[in-house]
Chains A and B, each alone.
Chain A
Amino acid sequence: MSDHEPGPRMTQYTSSIRASLRVLSRRERRLLVARMLGFCALIGGFLGLWVLLAPFSGVANGVAAIGLVVGFAAGMWWLVVGPMLVGWRRAADLVRQAKLAEAIQPGFEGRLVTVAERLEGPRGQESEAILAWIAGRAAEGLRSVRADAVHSGRPVVRVASLAMVLAGVLLTLVLVLPGGLGATWTYWVGEEPALSVDSGNVKGTGEYAQVGDLAIEYVYPAYTGLEPLEVTNSTGEVHGPPGTLVRVRARAAEPIERGMVVAYEDPTEGAEVDGRNIRGKFTIMEEEGAWRLDLVQAVGAASSRSFPIVPEPDLAPEVLVDSPQRIEVALDAPLDLPWQALDDFGLTRIVLLVDGKEEREIRAFEERRAESDGRVSFTPRQLGMSVGMTVEVQIGAWDNNEWAGSQLGVNQPAIQVVVKRADELAMLSVEERRNLRNELVDLLADQLIQAWPPVGTMAAVGRAGEQFDGFYRDLRTLIEKTPAISADRRVRRMVARVMNSGTEFITFTQVNFDVRSGSSTPDAESMRRAGELRSVAVEENEHTIIWLDRFIQMFALGQAVEEAQKGATLAKNLESAIATEARDSEVLDALERVRASLDRMNDIVKEMDQDAIRSMVEGRAREIGLVRESVAEALEAGDREQADELAKRMARQLRELNDDLEYQLRRVEEEEDQLGEEMKSLVEELQRMEREQRQLQSEVQQARQSGDAQGAAEAERMWAQVETLANEAEGIGRQLQDAALARGGMFMFQKRIEAGVRATERLGESAAARDLRRSQLDVGDSIQHWVRAQGGVAESRRRQVLSKLEAAERLLNQLDRESSQVDPKTAAQARALEARQAELDAAMDQVMQQASEVAAKMPIEPRGMEEALQRGKSSMQEAAEDLRNGRPMPAEGSQGQAAERLKEAREALEEAAQQMQSSGSGARSGEPSDGSSGEDDGESDGSFELDGGESLSAKDINLDEEFDLDAFQRDVLRGARGNVPEAYRAMKKRYYEELMTQ
């Protein structure tokens, strides 16, 4: 083309194109800004959601806050700042705008982009004309392009819509979230937020009154002893014991004209209004409720939302008693119930309730005490009870609740108190008896296997005595550990005998066999005596073991019978259930009771040593158990007919078991009855002989006195002198004994002095009985002991004792001489009485045979009976000899001895009978048995008396002559049936009463 005719120029078009593209660029930037704002709103909305929901998410507010910051930062960067930085710059790129325009309008065919790239002119050798033409076409096309088509506003609208929805959600949440914004604020800032009312009863204006800065002050009832408490920034909920005064303070959003606190839907009085502040109060009652503020403001009347009132009730005191559920106590013994009482606010009184009724006040409190403890010391008698009563005792505690009234709390369950006689309770338990028996068995083993007599020397015998003492160590320990041994009078007596007999032997060895005496040989008489004493110690132990063992066996039998009786009752109930067509469940209950009874029965018989009864009961129990299972199976299978049939069979088996055990008991009863008859006959015979012997003694005495009155008077004077001398010697001897004990000298000397005192005491007794032969033996014995005591006591005092004893010996020798110088008439009278003495001697042979036969049948040995009879017979023979020789005085003494021995034999028999009864009483489920148990023996302090002087003897528990041995024997085991016949009870009571009056 030539210069003179130029075409259109490119710049004519490029300026319009540039302007159009810049329009597009601006639009895009505007839209970008709008969208970023939308995103900001969205981010704010989401963060708001987080703020509202985080308190309910369980996330700690610190963590939530971090989440909040991170969310904000990330959201802003990714959604706002980042896109803004990129988009803003890109929006300025006109080529890009051209491309976007071409993208929506394909007709440009690249012209617009080409031009946009060359807005500053052609590149290189490009033809401007052609470019102008292209630009012309592009500009033409560009006029038809709409900016909103290139950069749509829809994304912005979408973001804005989303932001709007989110705002709605936020608003809804603020309205419905529990605790409202206050709770959210509390969560985020960790403090009580100022309250803003968001719900509640709408009054007046139809809106909730907006209150905040809520403060609650509690003023507790005085009886609680609690200090007032103020809670600022309270949530409004109140807690406290009924009677608590609650003071409320709040601030409203608008000034308050009038206002009040409404609690339990009742307006309260005394609200004070001051500008936007209001104060009011109410009292917490027993029931739950709510409170609120009713306000009248410029905008109208409104109520705050309601706040809960939660009462915390004052509970009744709790009482604890440390006692078994059932106790047995003597009428005059304290109940001894340790108690502890606790209350949440305070106690006023502690009381004792008997059968639910308040009987006595135990303690009262002047000042508030939340807890207290003590021990009940009332005796049943003080509480108006009597022996045989069973009552329910409770300790009660009254609290100090002045608001609702004092409340009583008692220990549960009540303690069942059974009032018994003291002697009934002073019984060793079966378990303790078993322990004691076993300890005695171990002692017996030691005693039996000890080498006796020891070889050779006195020292060896002395050491054997010391060793023997060691055998009792464990027994002594057991006695110390088991107070009931001392408390149970009968057991104490039996064990005392075991201990005392051992002490006798030990003492004898220490007195007579000096451990320092080296190789000197003991004399035969001392060895014989030591052997005798040792045997007595062993026999006493054996005797006590048998006695305890019998009790244990009979107790188990009694228990078994009692359980079998219960089984028989269960059988009856079972049959009754079948007869009345009881429900299956009732039959099953009955079966369960049978099972429990059989289990108990098996437990009881395990303790039995009577193999035959044990295996019989165990076998029967297994048989019954098998049928019981079959009954249950039949019931389960729905075969009621079969079940009934089997149940009847089981009931019969239960009855048979009871019958068989009853039969066993009856057999023992019958044997005891028969034995009782024989014992009764023997006792009567012994009594008869004793009477006759004393009568004969009296006649001999009369003969002597009437024949030579002067001589008799002189003899009596001398006897009185002997008696006085013996008593004086004994008195000095006791002082020496006390002094030796106080000084704590050698054990050997203490024992020698003790033996001397006892021998002197015996002399006094023999002299009092005017028994010449015995007195002469005793004075010799006594002198011998005091001679041996040399070196262990004050010598001058010992000589005083010896001097008196020697004087007594001289008098006795004189009496002996004079007794042989009897006038002929008296001597003849004495000889005339010899035949009667010989008759008694012959009768003694028969009674000894009878006694031997009875003893062979007795389960408890009549200790000393046969020995006493043997000695009695010797005395009778001596008396007969003296009478034959015309010497009434020594005959009198021997006759007295014979009578005493007969009495001893009778007492031994009666005592054994009593022991049989007491050991048989085990079958009475712990009931005491014999009469003496009710007797006050003066040892009620429960101390265990070892041989401090006279050892316990048969006379301590002597039965009176009216004692019905027959009845006792008959009833020995009848009581084992559980129900003691009324007649028996009456008999026993009478017997006890008679003993008590002795």
Chain B
Amino acid sequence: MSLRRAILVGGLAVLWGNEAVASAAAVAECLDAVDVPCAKRAIAAHNIDKSSDAELVYMAARASFFGGDFEQAYQRMARAVELGHDDRWDEAALYERTWRVHEGFVEAKRGDRAVVRYAPGLDAVMVEEVLDAIERSEAHLGDLLGGRPPGPIVVEIYPSGKAFTEASSLTEADVKTTGVVALSKWSRILLTSPRALGRGYGWGDTVAHEYIHQVVSHHTHDRAPVWLQEGIAKYLDNRWETGEDRFALDPRAESLLAKAIQEDQLIPFERMHPSLAKLPSAEMASLAYAQLASLLQFIVEKEGEDVLPAVLNSVDAMEDPRVALSKHAGFRSFKALEDGWKSWAVTQGLRERAVAASANTLDSSSDVDIDPVLSQRRDLARFLRLGELLLERGHHEAALIEFAKANQEEGQTSPLLQTRIAQAHLARGDRATARTQLEYTLSLYPEFTLAWRAMGDLEREMKRPGQAIRAYQRVVDLDPFDAGAHEHLITLLSAAGQAGRAARHREQVAILRRGGEG
């Protein structure tokens, strides 16, 4: 126990003269630091297991919940409520829901640091990759932020949006509004299976992103405000694979930021503190995230990577995060930091493009649902569908005419529509136009799986195995459940003499075809 924590605990005990309160505070302190082993030690040290104090039992329930023993957590919680705990946040229901969702889940481990919990079945196809993502995140990000958090890093894969919602304490409306697909909470990373999003998503970056939240929470005892956490995570989450800084704002964020700079509509950072929730629209929230990631890029480029753990330490020491950030970035004030960043940002050559906000609709029913434009424009989606029907029946020229009707002359670009247009061109043998179309689509929507899939098909048809492998690999990175892409990779990799990689895809196809590991 650190000196500061000892003082806190001791102070509380003295203040209230209540040993139970002190014990509860000790457990809470551990959990805030995402330190489950510490919480368990505190429970043991204070003999909380045998306590009949409602708050102590409640703390024990929380510790169990953080530790992933959901049945015990629910039972302890129920007992705490019986003993008089005021369950104002309805946690008992959450614990019970989580317990039910996790029934039948299995666990895979790599060493003593990486744990994946998942429902047996198709999700087995990505377990190895998730373990890999945890290991790499630890290696490339943990130390960068001042050290790895204690205890194993646990990722839970939820097979559907519904399961994720039930275990996340979010409502369906929250999930629908925010498009959230993962959470770092209760010392665990809750991840929605890519199969719940129709065509997958960049779950690797997401694991890294949530891991960063865990690290930041640990080092700041969860005192870092959301805006700081999101800024750091957004800025760093691209490094998990190799440690290399590949940060670039995604096209949507870049576009929003470029427009805001051009129109002088940037959001003052003061408005983001203490919470981003006060921002009036989802678009402003997206702009805020873009600004924050860019701000962190600016600070690190200016002062180096060491600035990040230093800021976290200051925040942990209860320094105002704005002050801590500006101080370590070499500015006299937060305002000066903001001005410095603005001057820098203008020079970054940001481009405003016709990119729509992603539509990460959990448990979507169609490709239109995941299209950021057409999901909002069913009238245009009608033309898309007509084009698809024409394409299916071999009327490529006519399909292009219908697709043209769905294409807005002004406004944002629909990646699905652009992909279909490319497929129509490909079907009529115009590979060059198809390629241009797909490249354009992927430049705007680099995580649009269908476009990568079409690109893979195009490259394969053009006998360019290297590019085809790259495209199909991107498909399975985003959507590991695409058996067809795995099969193309097996063929291409085998032909390229990469038997090892081909074998892994073969295993994955076997899992997908069988419905699990068997």
Contacts and interface: CB of A to CB of B under 8 A. Distances in A.
B481 A619 contact: yes
A858 B376 CA distance: 10
Interface in B485-518: 512-516, 518
Given A444-B386, A546-B382, A664 B365 contact: yes
Given A449-B397, A549-B389, 19 more contacts: A437-B389, A441-B386, A448-B395, A448-B398, A448-B401, A545-B386, A546-B382, A611-B366, A612-B198, A612-B364, A612-B365, A619-B121, A623-B122, A626-B518, A649-B104, A652-B104, A664-B363, A858-B378, A859-B378
Interface string A556-594: 010000000000000000000000000000000000000
Nearest to B369: A612
Choose among B121, B370, B481 the residue with the greatest number of A CB atoms under 10 Å from its CB.
Answer: B121
18 contacts: A441-B390, A444-B398, A448-B390, A448-B398, A546-B385, A546-B386, A557-B365, A619-B481, A622-B122, A622-B514, A622-B515, A624-B515, A627-B516, A649-B120, A660-B160, A663-B162, A857-B378, A857-B379
Interface in B134-162: 160, 162
A627 B516 CA distance: 9
A668 interface: yes
Given A438-B393, A622-B513, A858-B378, A616 B195 contact: yes
A526 interface: no
B398 A445 contact: yes
A612 B371 CA distance: 13
B393 A626 contact: no
B402 interface: yes
A196 to B, nearest CB: 81
A610 B370 CA distance: 12
A81 B13 CA distance: 144
Contact of A542 (B120, B122, B377, B382): B382
A438 B515 CA distance: 34
A611 B385 CA distance: 13
B515 A442 contact: no
B103 interface: yes
Contact of A612 (B120, B367, B380, B389): B367
Contacts of B393: 438, 441-442, 445
A884 to B, nearest CB: 36
Interface in A825-873: 855-859, 861
Given A442-B395, A612-B366, A619-B122, A626 B198 contact: no
A861 B406 CA distance: 14
Q: How large is the interface on A (under 10, 10 to 19, 20 to 34, 35 or more residues)?
A: 35 or more
Nearest to B195: A619
A194 to B, nearest CB: 82
Contacts of B513: 622
B365 A613 contact: yes
A625 interface: yes
A445 B395 contact: yes
B195 A856 contact: no
A855 B515 contact: no
B104 A856 contact: no
Nearest to A446: B398
A615 B378 contact: no
Interface string A646-680: 00010011001001100110011000000000000
Choose among B379, B381, B390, B481 the residue with the greatest number of A CB atoms under 10 Å from its CB.
Answer: B379
Nearest to A553: B366
Interface of A: 437-438, 441-442, 444-445, 448-449, 542, 545-546, 549, 557, 609-613, 615-616, 619-627, 649, 652-653, 656, 659-660, 663-664, 667-668, 855-859, 861
B509 to A, nearest CB: 12
Interface in B101-117: 103-104
Nearest to B104: A649
A394 B389 CA distance: 45
A891 B389 CA distance: 47
Given A652-B104, A660-B363, A545 B516 contact: no
Query: Which 3 interchain pairs have the tightest Cβ spacing?
Result: A622-B515, A445-B395, A623-B121
Contact of A610 (B366, B379, B383, B518): B366
Contacts of A625: 515
Contacts of A855: 379
Nearest to A665: B365
A857 B160 CA distance: 26
B513 to A, nearest CB: 7
Contacts of B481: 615, 619
Choose among A612, A616, A861 the residue with the greatest number of B CB atoms under 10 Å from its CB.
Answer: A612
Choose among A444, A625, A861 the residue with the greatest number of B CB atoms under 10 Å from its CB.
Answer: A444
Choose among B363, B365, B377, B395 the residue with the greatest number of A CB atoms under 10 Å from its CB.
Answer: B365
A437 B390 CA distance: 11
Given A441-B389, A612-B364, A612-B367, A626 B516 contact: yes
A613 B365 CA distance: 5
Contacts of B380: 856
A549 B387 CA distance: 13
A152 to B, nearest CB: 95
Contacts of B122: 619, 622-623
A626 B517 CA distance: 9
Contacts of B365: 557, 610, 612-613, 664, 667-668
B379 A858 contact: yes
Contact of B377 (A442, A624, A856): A856
Contacts of B366: 609-613
Interface in B345-391: 363-367, 369-370, 376-383, 385-386, 388-390
Nearest to A626: B515
B175 to A, nearest CB: 12
A605 B274 CA distance: 48
A14 B501 CA distance: 128
Nearest to A447: B398
Nearest to B514: A626
A441 B162 contact: no
A861 B379 CA distance: 7
A542 B406 CA distance: 13
B168 to A, nearest CB: 16
A616 B398 CA distance: 31
A545 B121 contact: no
A667 B366 CA distance: 12
Contacts of A442: 393, 395
Contacts of B516: 622-623, 626-627
Contacts of B397: 445, 448-449
Contacts of A620: 121
B177 to A, nearest CB: 14
B395 A615 contact: no
Contacts of A549: 385, 389
A150 B121 CA distance: 109
A976 B53 CA distance: 51
Interface string B180-201: 0000000000000001001100
A588 B365 CA distance: 34
Nearest to B380: A856
Contacts of A441: 386, 389-390, 393, 395
Nearest to A619: B122
Contacts of A668: 365
Nearest to A629: B518
Nearest to B363: A663
A622 to B, nearest CB: 3
Contacts of A859: 378, 381-382
A445 B428 CA distance: 14
Contacts of B377: 856
Nearest to B370: A612
A25 to B, nearest CB: 106
Contact of A659 (B162, B386, B398, B402): B162
A622 B364 CA distance: 20
Choose among B122, B513, B515 the residue with the greatest number of A CB atoms under 10 Å from its CB.
Answer: B515
A12 B377 CA distance: 157
A661 to B, nearest CB: 10
A549 B380 CA distance: 15
